[in-house]
Structure formats: C-alpha cells, structure tokens
Amino acid sequence: MNDLPRLPTSGGCRDEPILKQRGQREVFCGLTGIIWLHRKMQDAFFLVIGSRTCAHLLQSAAGVMIFAEPRFGTAILEETDLAGLADAQTELDKVVDQLLARRTDIRQLFLVGSCPSEVIKLDLSRAAERMTEKYAPSVRVLNFSGSGIETTFTQGEDACLASMVPVLPETNERQLLLVGALPDVVEEQAVSLLTQMGIGPVRVLPAPRADSDLSVGTETVFALTQPFLGDTHAELERRGARHIAAPFPFGEEGTTAWLRMIADEFGVDDATFERVTAAPRARARKAIAQASVSLRGKSVFFFPDSQLEIPLARFLTRECGMQAIEVGAPFIHKGIIGPDLDMLAQGPVLSEGQDVDLQLDRCRAARPDLTVCGLGLANPLEAEGLSTKWAIELVFTPVHFYEQAGDLAGLFSRPLRRDDLLQLGVR
Ligand code: SF4
C-alpha cells in the first residue's frame, strides 16, 4: 500500500516566482464552451446576443451543419441596435417569445453575452430576471457572458456553471458534488469509482436536466473536474459548500490523488481504496507507458490557453518523462491549482497572462520539441519547424481518469510521431 499517493509537502512549484505579462493575447472567446455544454444539458438552449461574427464562430466551432433542431442560436445585434436606435431589450423579448413558443422542450434558457452586447452595455441579468418572472416555473432563464474581452475560452463554462449555483435549491444533506462538464462515459467512470468506495450520494453540476435533484448547502463538499472553474468555485463557497482541493484527474497519478483526497474526506480505508483502484491504475500505467515512448526526454512549452496547462505539465513531466520549459496559464488560482503545483518539479518558467510576441520570442529561443498552443499560433510555429499541439483539442477529447490516461499521452505523442514519419519520408 506504500505507493498510494500522498501529496508532497515541499519541492514543488507552489511558491516559485510567476512571470506575469499583459499584452496582446491569442485565445478563443467563451462562446466556445456552448459547443460542449449544449450536449450535456439536454433541455437547455443557449441564446447568444451577439454579432454575425459570434454566429460564425459558433457554427464553425460546432464543426457540423445542424439539420436537427439546434440547442443554440444567435440573436444578431444589427446596426440599429449597436447605434442605440432600437430598444434592444424589447427586441430580445420578442426573439425569446418566438423561441419559447416554438420550442416547448426548452426548460433552461441561457442568455449569453458577447463582446458587442457588452460594448452597448445590454443588461442581460435584468432581461433574465424579467423573463424568469414571465416564464417560471416551466422555463428558468439565466445569463452569463461568453465575451472574448479579457477572457479565455474555457471561462464560458465557468461563467455558465457559476450562473446556475445561486438558484440551486438549499439542502442539508451530506453529499459530494462533482463540478465540471465531462463526456458522459467519463463522468460515469468517475461516479462508478466513487460509489464502489461507498461514497455518496454523488451529484454532478451541470446536470443533464433542469428538474434534476441538484441542490447545495453547508453539508455539500465539492470536487472540481476541470481547473478552469474559479467563479463556480467562489459561488459554491458562497452557498456554504466546501472544496476538496486535489490534483486534477489527468493520468494515473493525478486520478489516484484526486480520488484519494475525496476518499479521505469520506473516511474510505486503504484496503477499499486499493481494491477499487488497483486494476484501473494498472491499466492506466500500462497504457501511458506504451503511449509515452516518443515523449520521453522531450521538451514541452505551454502557451496560456485552456487553463489545463499546469495539471497537464504535471502529467507530462511526472508520468511521460518530458521536460517542461515554460508553463503558461491564463490565470493561476492557487486555491484550485495549488496541489498540481505542489507536484510539479521546480525548473520550468511559470507564466500567467500573455504578451504573445515576448512569449513567442522565448519559445523560438528554446526550440521545444513540442509546443502546446492555440490554433492561431500553431500554424506559424509549424511553418518555423516546431511541432505543436492544439490546446482546444484537450477540452474536446475525453482525457480525464484512468481509462483515458493512455489517450491523453497519445494526444501529445501524435504530433511528434507524425514529424518523425514526415522526416523519414523526406530521406
Ligand atoms: Fe468574437 Fe467577441 Fe463574438 Fe467571441 S463574443 S465571436 S470574440 S465578437
């Protein structure tokens, strides 16, 4: 039982200096989150109040033409709205009336702010309150911002989940709340591991339907499954729930440490923990060992994008044998990411925020074997001979917990293997 992980108390990066820079940034906006959120919340509709650019972003990020009734759309702000000539609130009421009359399956409506709606200071919280009064109890109307002004793309999910917490019913029940949108199959694996240890009831935010038994209170403890949920974390604490701080469940080690922290909270003994986790841990280790062969000894440089950077750097350095040169993250919230920082060995530059030109200079000087970055930087860097991995893929792909640990390593090794094959072809 000696290999059951306990968190290191020193030697990590938690207290290392952080390079903070602000300047031009290269990130997607929070509207992107709608692509995975609308699949999780099956009776929700996301109405973006935005421009044609926002509509195009959603359509191309969705990656498919939608033939069935979609569960997101854009109320386009026209020039008369932007010039203040039309009453945008009245226009919005009309659009929502039409939508809800036609789509009687909608139980949750999210009014999603964008850069244009923020620029004209359209008050969507007022609109959501007014519409909730009108449509309750059959439809709950909430609002959040997906604007790209000073935000990054995973903040859309955070803003959405944070908007739901204040309206959750109160409970005195002792319960575990898992927070973060995961693919269904991955969520089922997590809940199954926890229930096999006797932990429960386990509930998940976001729930698939508005009429779920989701509630919150002072007897609620919560574990985040995604590291980008700072605002949701704050809202849950405001409701009296307590956070179980843990490394994030990426890789065998991260998953075991995450489960261990929750198991300790619920008094699970070592023998039970071992019985439930031994087999999937062994599978994960084997899969990582196979998938990480081409990663061993290679260097990696993270540009700030998904907010997954620090847990992934921990996984790649500790479980895949890589060396991190720089780990950039849009925000470093030590209350959330601290346990991962504790496990990340000192050495890489830790950077928060971005001045993209300065960071590109550092990356070019370092010539890493692999650069993890947004789509906008990947192509130019590839043209300069650097191998890249798109950060956004890490959010769209199932990568959490034991059964996906090999796939996670594989996502990083694929670009290196591709480059090796291309070079062989050249010779
Ligand atoms: Fe562009 Fe802003 Fe619309 Fe996002 S919210 S698509 S950044 S205009």
| Ligand 1: nearest atom to the Cα of 30 | 4
Q: What CA–CA distance (Å, rounded) separates 312 from 307?
A: 10
Ligand 1 neighbours (beta carbon < 6 A): 29, 31, 50-51, 53-54, 57, 114-115, 146-148
Q: What CA–CA distance (Å, rounded) separates 103 from 111?
A: 15
Q: What CA–CA distance (Å, rounded) separates 358 from 299?
A: 19
Is it the case that residue 82 has pLDDT exceeding 80? no
Q: What CA–CA distance (Å, rounded) separates 264 from 362?
A: 42
Which residue owns the Cα nearest ligand 1 atom 8? 115
User: What pLDDT sits at residue 63?
Assistant: 60
C-alpha separations of 138 from 90, 100, 108 in Å: 22, 10, 9
Whether the Cβ atoms of residue 406 and residue 284 lie closer than 8 Å to each other? yes
Helix 270-291, helix 184-196: angle, nearest 10: 150
DSSP-based three-state secondary structure for 322: coil
> Element (H or E) spanning 92, and its range?
helix 88-102
> Element (H or E) spanning 327, and its range?
strand 323-329
Q: Which residue has the higher pLDDT, 314 or 379?
A: 314
Closest by alpha carbon to 46, among 80, 81, 10, 73? 73
Query: Residue 118: what are its φ and ψ, rounded to 5°?
Result: -75, -35
User: What pLDDT sits at residue 427?
Assistant: 52
Mind listing the pLDDT tens digit for each residue in 171-214? 999 999 999 999 999 999 999 999 999 998 999 999 999 888 89
| CA 134 to ligand 1 centroid distance, Å | 29
| CA 32 to ligand 1 centroid distance, Å | 10
Who contacts 380 (Cβ-Cβ below 8 Å, separation ≥6)? none
Is it the case that residue 424 has pLDDT exceeding 70? no
| CA 113 to ligand 1 centroid distance, Å | 9
DSSP-based three-state secondary structure for 213: coil
Mean pLDDT of the chain: 90
| CA 354 to ligand 1 centroid distance, Å | 19
Compute, in degrees rounded to 10, the torsion defined by CA atoms 410, 412, 414, 417: -110
| Ligand 1: nearest atom to the Cα of 29 | 4
Is it the case that residue 371 has pLDDT exceeding 90? yes
Mind listing the pLDDT tens digit for each residue in 387-409? 999 988 888 899 999 999 999 99
Is it the case that residue 67 has pLDDT exceeding 60? no
User: What pLDDT sits at residue 1?
Assistant: 41
Which residue owns the Cα nearest ligand 1 atom 7? 148
User: What pLDDT sits at residue 120?
Assistant: 83
Mind listing the pLDDT tens digit for each residue in 283-298? 999 999 999 999 999 9
| CA 330 to ligand 1 centroid distance, Å | 18
Is it the case that residue 334 has pLDDT exceeding 80? yes
Q: pTM (2 decimals)? A: 0.92
Helix boundaries (H) for 292-397: 309-319, 334-343, 356-366, 375-383, 391-396
Is it the case that residue 233 has pLDDT exceeding 80? yes
Is it the case that residue 64 has pLDDT exceeding 60? no
Is it the case that residue 90 has pLDDT exceeding 90? no
| CA 353 to ligand 1 centroid distance, Å | 19
In the DSSP assignment, the letter for residue 244 is -
- What is the share, in percent, of the chain residues with pLDDT greater than 70? 92
Q: What is the maximum alpha-carbon separation in the chain?
A: 70
User: Lowest-pLDDT range, 124-138, 234-248, 311-325?
Assistant: 124-138
Which residue owns the Cα nearest ligand 1 atom 2? 115
| CA 282 to ligand 1 centroid distance, Å | 44
User: What pLDDT sits at residue 2?
Assistant: 43
Mind listing the pLDDT tens digit for each residue in 206-232? 999 988 889 999 999 999 999 999 999
Which residue owns the Cα nearest ligand 1 atom 6? 54
